[in-house]
């Protein structure tokens, strides 16, 4: 951690400090969504709804792979930020080395466990006879590349945890740029279709992982990828998994909920699945910008938690205001041009109409989902493992009963609105736990929920 990063951790005005940590993360996550959207765009040029359906169906698998990366990355990253606040620099090396090698092992386990079950996985994802082959191709490539994808999500968190927000952003943008270039080549030049697009994602994550590993090994003062610093002590395992496990559970639940949601949509045809696939990718842009804001300030909150709790409170208050402003701006923008946005991916008027409707409904919960992400980030940064666990479970299981009831009462419209209802419930639970945290655990946080 250089002097500039230390300045932003300790002394810079809160607004500038938040901008320093969050803006690069917001730009990086925005770029990651852009390439997700472009994946759909490139495959959309094939004018085959089954291909877009396959892309939507594989989202739960990607969520699981990402969950493994976040299990190690978020748990280790928040621990590293707290250790930096306590100036325990040797411990940071032990944790970063542990994160690097354990994430590789988890990726290899994912690959070894998934490949023999490939047909069962594709069937479980809800593929129809038309989309089965395309879905299997995508799943196969993603499983083969899972060690690199897991490593990417882990290292991005680790690099950001020491305050190297710009480096973290560069790695994410590098991944996106390479992915876009490869997508164009594999679709328009080599005509590899789904296999090409999936391969482009894996290769781009590999390149970004190498970039992060180089930074940790040769540029960072405290992080390392050296095996000689590897330790799996009780203290490291406890601190990493106390925070990483709730994030992992939440990601798994989100993947499972996406799977269940797709199964409900399949009842209304491939058109409904494709419409949701397109609209959800468009929704991801503002969602990931808000996520970038909330995740970007986590190292600052974690550092301040052990060094300056008043600064932590000010950071959270400023972030809440930023979430509100961004949610309102994005909501107004999308309300007026939703048809044009969906039209970028398809010329099917029914698909445009359905996708625009889904977009209008799901955007209603943008602010509450942003606040829920912030609540989760606060719990992670302050080592509130129980609160983080409760939050992850609530976010995961709420959608199931809401889906069943809403689908029974109002069919397709109920399925779409269930997302908004579930987000609102998770927000309310998070707000209540923040209130309890204010009174029982951190008296200095008296104004957090006011």
Q: What sign does the dihedral 355-357-360-365 (CA atoms) show?
A: negative
CA neighbor of 182 nearest in space, from 200, 163, 169:
200
CA dist., res. 293 & res. 179, Å (int): 23
CA neighbor of 32 nearest in space, from 205, 173, 204:
173
- 79: tokens are 């621990």
On whether the CB atoms of residues 142 and 149 are closer than 8 A, the answer is yes
List the chain domain ranges: 3-445
CA Rg value for the chain: 21
- Provide the 8-state DSSP code for 382: T
- 217: tokens are 């090994």
Sorted by sequence, the CB contacts under 8 Å of residue 319 that are 6+ apart come out as 18, 22, 293, 294, 297, 374
- Tell me the CA distances in angstroms from 329 to 46, 258, 294, 344, 443, one per residue in order: 33, 27, 17, 21, 34
What's the confidence (pLDDT) of residue 396? 67
Over residues 393-407, the pLDDT tens digits come to 787 678 888 888 888
CA dist., res. 234 & res. 80, Å (int): 16
CA dist., res. 106 & res. 98, Å (int): 12
Across the chain, which distance is largest between two alpha carbons, in Å?
Answer: 61
Per residue of the chain (450 residues), what is the pLDDT tens digit? 555 667 778 888 889 888 888 888 787 777 766 766 677 777 777 777 778 778 777 877 887 888 899 889 988 998 998 898 888 889 999 999 999 999 999 999 999 999 999 999 998 888 878 888 889 999 999 999 999 999 999 999 899 888 888 898 899 889 988 988 998 898 888 888 889 988 998 999 999 999 999 999 999 888 999 999 998 899 999 989 988 887 787 777 766 776 777 778 878 877 888 888 778 777 877 888 888 888 888 888 888 887 777 888 889 889 999 999 999 998 888 888 877 788 777 777 888 888 888 888 888 888 998 999 899 888 888 878 788 778 877 876 788 888 888 888 888 888 889 888 888 998 999 899 888 877 544 544 444 444
On whether the CB atoms of residues 99 and 154 are closer than 8 A, the answer is yes
SS3 percent helix, strand, coil of the chain, rounded to 5, is 85, 0, 15
What's the confidence (pLDDT) of residue 23? 84
On whether the CB atoms of residues 174 and 190 are closer than 8 A, the answer is no
What's the confidence (pLDDT) of residue 146? 94
What's the confidence (pLDDT) of residue 449? 44
On whether the CB atoms of residues 243 and 391 are closer than 8 A, the answer is no
Distance spanning both ends of the chain, measured CA to CA: 34
Over residues 143-183, the pLDDT tens digits come to 999 999 999 999 998 998 888 888 988 998 899 889 889 98
What's the confidence (pLDDT) of residue 171? 92
- 349: tokens are 């008027």
CA dist., res. 139 & res. 190, Å (int): 20
């Amino acid at each position: 951690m250089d002097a500039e990063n230390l300045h932003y951790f300790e002394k810079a005005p809160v607004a500038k400090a938040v901008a320093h940590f969050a803006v690069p993360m917001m730009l990086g996550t925005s770029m990651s969504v852009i390439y997700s959207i472009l994946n759909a765009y490139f495959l959309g040029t094939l004018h085959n709804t089954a291909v877009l359906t396959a892309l939507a169906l594989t989202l739960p698998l990607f969520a699981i792979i990402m969950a493994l990366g976040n299990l190690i990355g978020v748990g280790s990253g928040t621990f590293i930020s707290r250790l930096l606040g306590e100036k325990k620099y040797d411990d940071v090396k032990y944790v970063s080395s542990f994160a690097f090698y354990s994430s590789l092992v988890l990726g290899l386990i994912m690959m070894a466990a998934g490949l023999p079950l490939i047909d069962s996985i594709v069937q479980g994802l809800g593929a129809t006879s038309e989309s089965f082959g395309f879905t299997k191709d995508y799943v196969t490539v993603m499983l083969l590349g899972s060690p690199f994808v897991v490593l990417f999500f882990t290292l991005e968190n680790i690099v950001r945890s020491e305050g190297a927000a710009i480096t973290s952003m560069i790695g994410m943008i590098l991944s996106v740029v390479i992915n876009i270039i490869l997508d164009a080549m594999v679709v328009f030049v080599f005509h590899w279709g789904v296999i090409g697009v999936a391969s482009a994602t894996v290769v781009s994550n590999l390149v970004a992982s190498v970039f992060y590993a180089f930074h940790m090994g040769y540029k960072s003062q405290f992080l390392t990828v050296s095996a000689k610093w590897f330790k799996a002590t009780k203290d490291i395992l406890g601190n990493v998994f106390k925070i990483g496990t709730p994030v992992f559970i939440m990601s798994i639940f989100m993947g499972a909920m996406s799977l269940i949601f797709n199964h409900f949509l399949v009842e209304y045809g491939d058109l409904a699945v494709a419409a949701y696939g397109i609209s959800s990718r468009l929704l991801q842009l503002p969602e990931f910008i808000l996520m970038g804001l909330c995740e970007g300030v986590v190292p600052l909150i974690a550092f301040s938690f052990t060094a300056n709790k008043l600064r932590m409170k000010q950071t959270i208050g400023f972030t809440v205001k930023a979430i509100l402003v961004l949610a309102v701006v994005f909501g107004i923008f999308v309300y007026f041009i939703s048809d044009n946005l969906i039209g970028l991916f398809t010329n099917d008027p029914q698909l445009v109409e359905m996708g625009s409707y889904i977009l209008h409904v799901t955007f209603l919960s943008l602010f509450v989902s942003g606040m829920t992400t912030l609540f989760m980030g606060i719990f992670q940064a302050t080592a509130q493992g129980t609160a983080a666990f409760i939050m992850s479970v609530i976010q995961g299981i709420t959608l199931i009963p809401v889906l069943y009831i809403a689908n029974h009462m109002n069919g397709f419209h109920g399925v779409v609105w269930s997302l908004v209802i579930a987000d609102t419930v998770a927000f309310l639970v998070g707000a209540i736990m923040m209130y309890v945290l204010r009174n029982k655990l951190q008296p200095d946080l008296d104004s957090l929920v006011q």
